[in-house]
Structure formats: C-alpha cells, structure tokens
Amino acid sequence: MSPEPAAASPSRTAVGRETVRVDGPLKVSGAARYTADFHFPDMLYAVPVCATIASGTIAAIDTKAAEAMPGVRKIYTRDTIGKFYRVPASGGGIIDERRPPFEDDTIRYYGQYVALVVADTFEQAIAAAHRVKTSYRAAAFDVSTALSPEETPKVKSRRGDPNAAFDAAAVKIDHVYNTPIETHSSIELHASVATFDGSHFTLYETTQAVGNFRDVLAQMLGVPKENVRVVTEYLGTGFGGKLWPWPQSLLAVAAARDLRKPVKLVMTRQMTFESAGHRPHTRQRVRLGATAEGKLVSLRHDYAYSRAPLSSYAENCGESSGFMYSTPNLSVSEAFATRNVGVPTSMRGPGAVPGLYALESAIDELAVALKMDPVALRLHNEPAIDESKNIPFSSRHLKECLATGAETFGWSRRTPAVGSMRENGAVLGWGMAACTWMAARWEAQVSVMFNDDGTLRVASGTQDIGTGTYTVLAQMAAELAGVDVGKIKVLIGDSSLPPGPISGGSMATASLVPAVAQATREAIRNLIAAARESDSHFANVPVDRLAFHEGRVHRKDQPPGEGRQFEEVLASARLGHVEGRGKSEGTFRNKNPTVSTHSFGAHFVEVAWQPEIARLRINRTVSVIDGGRIVNPLTARNQIEGAVTMGIGMALFEETHYDHRHGMPINSNLADYIMATHADTPPMEVIFLDYPDTHLNEMGVRGIGEIGLAGVAAAITNAVYHATGVRVRDLPVKIEDLLASSVA
C-alpha cells in the first residue's frame, strides 16, 4: 500500500490508493435506494403465474375465482397483455430470451410465465396468483444431465495436427469433466418498478446495463428510445444474472402501460431459478499429449453445454484454451444439447470458468502422470506469444504469478505423494491452478463538469453492481483533475446519462478510463477558456498563457498558488458549470488486434481432509492476480475474495437440481441451493502484481472480478486429489466421492 501523499498534492495518487467506498455511508445507513425500495403513490403490485409443466401447451386459463379476490385490479393473459415486439437479432439490444412473454401458448420450460396478477398489495396479488387455474396439454420434455450433442461439433480453434500428435505422444491424458447448472444467487432479488405517463416509460430496474435495458424495452414496446428511461441507482449484485432483461420486467411495464399506474414486480427466489438465467451444464473432454520431459505437443478441448429452446446462448468453454499454454497442435470444438430449462446466460466468468476447471484439472493430471511438479509443468509450457492469434500478449506475467504464489504459499515444502502431508490429525492437500480472463473495452461516454459549488461531477450511463464503480470513477476523475476524491460527485445508473459501458465481462473500469480522461481534459480546456472571460485576474490573458493544476487555473508565468480555484473562476465568469465530454471506443470491433489482452493469475489452495469423519475443509488460499494497474486495492481485493468464495461454492456446493418428473428446479431457494458461507471461507491472501497494461488505456487498467473465480475450482479439486487420491471430474465435490479414498 502506498503511503499517504504529501499534503501539498492530495490527489495525485488517487488512482492506486486504498480508498473506502464513496457510497459506503449510504449503504450502511440504508439510504442507498435499491430497486425494490422505490415507492410511488397508487402503486400496484404484480405477481406472475408460472407454468407447472416443462413442455406442452396451455389448454385454458381460468381467472374467474382469482379476479373476484380482494384488491385484484386485473389479471393479464396472452389476450389482454397488449402488444409486444421482438428484438432484432442485431442492433436492437441484447436479450437472451428473445421470445416476448405470452407470445404463444407453447410452454418450453417449467416456470414460464402464463399470466400476471395485479393487485393493490403484494399479498393480495400473490394470493390471487395461486387461484388462477391453468390447464395444460403436457408433452415430453428433457432435463437430463447427460449431454449428447445434437449437431456435429463446431471447430472453434485449430492448429497443426492435434490427432496425430496426440496419438504419437509419450504421455497422454484423456478425461471428461462435467460442471452442473449453477444459478446466480444475488442477495437482491430481481425487481422492476414501472411507471408510464401516457408517453414516457420510467423503469426502476435491477440491471447491470441500464442503456441496453432501455434499448431492449424500446424495441419490445415499439416506442422510440427517447420515451424510455431505465434507472439502477444501486444493485445488490448480479453475477451476469442481471446483465440482460428477463421477461417479468416487460410484464410490469405492460401492466403500467395499461393501468396508467406505477407497478412493482419483485421476483421470488424460486422464479429466479426458473426464468432468470443460469450457467449451463457443461461436459468437456480434454486430451493432452506431452513429451516425456513435459512439453505439450497436443491439446484437444471438446466441449458441449446445455441450452434452452429458442436460446442461442453459447458457453464458450474453450475461450482460453488456445493461448493458455504453448503447443504446436491444438483443436477446440463446441457443441450443445437442448434441454427444457429456462434460458441460460452468462454467469461470472462465462465460458472460461467451467473451461479452466477442465483444462487446469487436466494439466494437473498430466503433472501427476509425468511425476512433475504442477507449477514447474506450467512454467515449462509458457508460450512466448498468443499462439492462437500469432500476436504478442499486451502484458502477460503468468510466470511471476506462479512464482510469487508458490513462494507466498510455501509450495516448496509440498511433498507430492498423495496423502503424504498431515497436520493436527488431518490430511492436507495442496493444489494450484492458473487462470486467465479477457481484457477489453466496451464503448463508453462520460461527462465531466466543474461546478461553481466546488464539486466535480462525473456522469455516465454505467452502473455500480457492487464492485465499486462509484468509487473508482471518483478516483479516476480526482487523479485527472487533481481534485480531492471527496469533491467528486459520481452520477451513474441512469440511461438518460451519456451512454456508459455495461457492467459485464470485468470491463467497465477499463472502458471508462479513456472517456473520463478525454472528458476531464475537455472540461479543463473549457474552464481555462472561461477564465479569460472572468472579470478579474485572468481577463484577456491569452489561453496559451494559462494552465490548470490541481483544481486551480493559473498564469503560466506565475506559480499555481497564485491562481484561482475553479469555483472562483466560474463565479467570476458567472458560470454555473463548464462541461467536457469524452468517449472511449470499444475494442471488440477491431478484428485485427496487434496484441492479445488478457488478465492472468494463479490460485494456491490448502484443503484439510479428515477421513474418519468424512470432512473436507478449505484451510487457506493464496491468489496472485496480474490484472493491470489496480485502481483501488481495497475494492480489488474485495472482488478477488468474493470470487474465491464463489469458487469454493462452485467446487464444493453449487448445483441446480431438476425434478425429472416435472422439470422443476427443486432446490430453488437459499436453504437447498448450497453456497459458500463465511464458515466455509478460509483466510484468503490476495496479491496484485500491478503491471499497467497501457495497450488498453492510458492508466493501464484491465479488469478484475471474474479472473478471481477462474481456476479456483480446479485448484481445489487438485488439492483434493493430493489429499485423497480421488480425482473429482464432476463438480461439485461430493463427500461420497471422497469415501473411495484409501488415504486413512
């Protein structure tokens, strides 16, 4: 941690300094408004009616009894909900479930919405929803977890002759790894509060992307974007489950449109499991061929995932397989199988997280087969360039992550034999895995304003999903303008602001940097121009003889201390504010990048296995992250610790089970869907290498969050193997699996 800077330059080191969340006091005092906290006079409550079959058609919906219940205003079905449009495949915004709610009578998954009850209170609405009688013509459905691809696998990446090289390899690994469906379980439930004034819609919504949500709503309602505003002041996290719109939000808006009253709809936890996305099930076969000395000669990664009818979501498990290790021969292929489950979506580290579980498990299995240390094996196969694209990496320090992690963890004391390490009567297992996550920029626009009250306002239509965007935006503006963090006002979470980046892919911060920098510089230029128009001190001094330094405009021939604070300059020019605008271009349109940009890292894990009581615990973890320049070590460490916690859940607990008789997610609540709690999380050490990656932006910021989850599950199962000799290739680890261990 950097020491406190000298008082004379309070803001120079705003970026890179541990800064407590600027929104912390609002959150701990309950003043921060989350979506469900919004109330309006005459507000009504909506509760959807959900299908109780997983496939078939609606035969009839009888709403009579429900309509007669107290407080019920209206019950909507396909006949009465009003018109919805689809979103075009490109250009209209992103949505995973493109079929609008109630579009037809076909049921494709359990929990699909069939009707909507609107009443004066939530209790009245939910009671009436239970009285709506729906009959169905049920059809056969499939929620099985065995994945057989429906089409010929699609080749995603290929080089050399992977089959011949595998066949000829001295040492081979060929295994299948399965990951189950996982459901995003943010503490804050999905919520919508919709208002309509006859022409304009305002939707208070739980979203990781207010701008995209506005675009999608405008498309589905058939109104211009200007008529829709989406607001998310605070989000109780999303993990990808709140990236794109889900159908219940549109139902709330349609009810507000029809009744001309504010309508609130909060999903139940059960509904979240049925119809607000999940990480699909994956089946991944990994084949590795190596020389006897441990050089990879062939890598084959063939994966399949489950998806839903009408969904085109792809779980890109091979995202990192092409560049993680050096190998002349490689192939990565993708396939899918359709299941009658709700539409899947991105979940923290989509693709790479299940993909690296498989790849990093296979690398560990190869190390065992080679009798080689798994850290040494990875170092031995470090590529010089991104071999999948034949371009250099912008900044790759995986070797240092591995070395620093090994040193910090004490890896040299590891004895490789299974069950060979003991402590306090428990068997210790030491495992590790490497990780990576993409780094890129979304398009972003930012407004920066010097105000006559002495504040600097930074505004962008992005949002803080709990990761610290309010704080890092304040830090970046403070750094660029040389103004105290405490004087920065951050305005985000509103689609009426200049279009900001989505909070997805761990890219919001990196995307905002160029836009904030450009906007701040333009605001400073406008401030200097305004200074010339002030009626004292700078009047008629040519612009090129004026400069700006740490909040002050001064004459270049005088020290900054002789200048004027920006609020004095504005007051004397009789201006309320001056503004600058900035824009970041996205990097995704660049089809011919000259460098390959990714974050890297390594996780080291110690597990304790007590065979006599069949108890497995995580004792400690060390994570070393090469994530570019770290804007705020406090919020950054918080991201990695949260991600490692999620990795413990992925390795040991998380799995959505579907009832094979009805197709219903049966552990659809936080009692039965087991996640890691504080009691499951050990002391976690997090180290950032902090190499600025200036290919991505001038501050060298990449992104963190998802990188912290990638690789964790493999590090844990690799440690479990070291302790027990049981190789877990189907997540999550089940205690029953470990009872096969001969370690006693």
CA–CA distance from 317 to each of 185, 277, 285 (Å)?
Answer: 22, 17, 11
Neighbours of 223 (CB within 10 A): 16
Q: In this chain, which stretch among 235-243, 318-326, 685-693, 729-737 interacts with ligand MOS, using CB under 6 A?
A: 235-243
Residue carrying structure tokens 């080689």: 372
Spell out, one character per residue from 39 to 58, where the chain touches ligand MOS: x when CB under 6 A holds, - when not.
Answer: --------------------
Q: How far is the CB of 584 from ligand MOS (least distance, A)?
A: 18
Min CB(443)–ligand MOS separation in Å: 16
Alpha-helical segments (H) within 429-507: 469-481
Are the CB atoms for 34 and 236 separated by under 8 Å? yes
Residue with Cβ nearer ligand MOS (298 or 639): 639
Minimal distance in Å, beta carbon 296 to ligand MOS? 29
Q: Which is nearer to ligand MOS, 239 or 673 (CB)?
A: 239
Nearest approach, Cβ of residue 223 and ligand MOS (Å): 28
Binding characters for ligand MOS, 505-524, by CB under 6 A (x = yes): x-------------------
Question: Which residue, 408, 342, 345, is CA-closest to 375?
Answer: 408
For residue 732, whether the previous peptide bond is cis, meaning omega lies within 30 degrees of 0, is yes
| Closest CB 656 distance from ligand MOS, rounded Å | 16
Q: In the bound complex, what is the minimum distance in angstroms from residue 670's beta carbon to ligand MOS?
A: 20
Near ligand MOS by CB under 6 A: residue from 240, 277, 499, 708: 240
What whole-number distance in Å separates Cα of residue 101 and Cα of residue 210? 20
Question: Strands, DSSP E only, in 385-452?
Answer: 421-423, 426-438, 444-451
Sole binder of ligand MOS in the list 38, 84, 239, 604 (CB under 6 A) = 239
101 vs 280, beta carbon nearer ligand MOS: 280
Return contacts of 213-217, CB within 8 angstroms, 24+ apart: 213/93, 213/245, 213/249, 213/495, 214/495, 215/92, 215/93, 216/87, 216/92, 216/93, 216/94, 216/95, 216/244, 216/245, 217/245, 217/249, 217/250, 217/253
Among candidate residues 696, 244, 704, the one with its CA nearest the CA of residue 511: 696
Which residue in the block uniquely carries the two structure tokens 């979501």? 313
Per CB under 6 A, the list member of 354, 493, 504, 711 interacting with ligand MOS is 504
The residues near 47 (Cβ < 8 Å, ≥ 6 apart) are 116, 117, 119, 122, 125, 126, 128, 129, 265
Q: Verify binding: residue 93, ligand MOS, rule CB under 6 A.
A: no
Contact predicate 264/329, CB 8 Å = no
Residue 642 in the binding site for ligand MOS (CB under 6 A): no
Interactions with ligand MOS, residue window 594-613 (CB under 6 A): none
**Closer by beta carbon to ligand MOS, 55 or else 503:** 503
DSSP percent split of the chain into helix, strand, coil, nearest 5: 25, 25, 45
Complex with ligand MOS: residue 173 or 352, whichever CB lies closer: 352
Contact call for residue 238 and ligand MOS (CB under 6 A): yes
Q: Rounded to an integer, what distance in angstroms lies between the CA atom of residue 301 and that of residue 355?
A: 9
Select from 439, 424, 427, 458 the least CA-distant residue to 386. Answer: 439
- Residues contacting ligand MOS: total by CB under 6 A: 11
Residues in the chain: 744
- Give the integer Cα–Cα distance in Å for 29 and 106: 46
CA distance 451 to 704: 32
* Residue 243 touching ligand MOS (CB under 6 A): yes
User: Which residues in the 331-350 window bind ligand MOS by CB under 6 A?
Assistant: 346-348, 350
- Closer to ligand MOS at the Cβ: 238 or 647? 238
CA distance linking residue 704 with residue 510, whole number of Å: 10
In the complex, what is the shortest distance from the CB of residue 719 to ligand MOS, in angstroms, rounded to a whole number?
Answer: 26
Q: How far is the CB of 465 from ligand MOS (least distance, A)?
A: 7
- The least CB distance from residue 180 to ligand MOS, in Å, is 17
Smallest distance from ligand MOS to CB 239, Å: 6
Residue among 279 and 301 whose Cβ is closer to ligand MOS: 279
Distance CA 243, CA 247 (A): 13
First vs last C-alpha separation in the chain: 44
Q: Which of residues 347-376 bind ligand MOS (CB under 6 A)?
A: 347-348, 350
Part in contact with ligand MOS (CB under 6 A); list of ranges 39-47, 51-59, 87-95, 236-244? 236-244
* Window 206 to 225, contacts with ligand MOS (CB under 6 A): 208
Going by the DSSP 8-state scheme, the letter that residue 309 receives in this structure is T
Under the binding rule (CB under 6 A), the answer on residue 471 touching ligand MOS is no
DSSP per-residue codes, 335-394: EEEE-SSPPP---SSTTHHHHHHHHHHHHHHHHHHHT--HHHHHHHT--SSBTTTTB-BS
For ligand MOS, the closer of residues 346 and 395 by Cβ is: 346
**DSSP H/E element including 48:** strand 44-50
Residue 317: which residues within 8 A CB-CB, separation 6 or more?
282, 284, 301, 303, 305, 334, 351, 352, 354, 355, 358
Tell me which of 182, 315, 365, 706 is the catalytic residue: 706
Nearer to ligand MOS, 102 or 357 (CB): 357
DSSP assignment letter at 512: H
Q: Tokens 């800077």 label which residue?
A: 5
Give the DSSP H/E element, type plus range, for residue 718. Answer: helix 712-724
Choose one: 46-54, 151-159, 237-245, 396-404; the region binding ligand MOS (CB under 6 A). Answer: 237-245
Of 243 and 480, nearer to ligand MOS (C-beta) is 243
* Nearest residue (CB) to ligand MOS, 643 versus 715: 643
Work out how close the CB of 706 gets to ligand MOS at its nearest, in angstroms, rounded to a whole number. Answer: 6
CA–CA dist 674, 538 (Å, integer): 65
Nearer to ligand MOS, 132 or 209 (CB): 209
We find the least distance from the C-beta atom of residue 242 to ligand MOS, in angstroms, to be 8
| Minimal CB distance residue for ligand MOS | 240
Q: Determine whether 612 is an active site residue.
A: no
Footprint of ligand MOS on this chain (CB under 6 A)?
Answer: 208, 238-240, 243, 346-348, 350, 504-505
Q: Which residues are catalytic?
A: 706
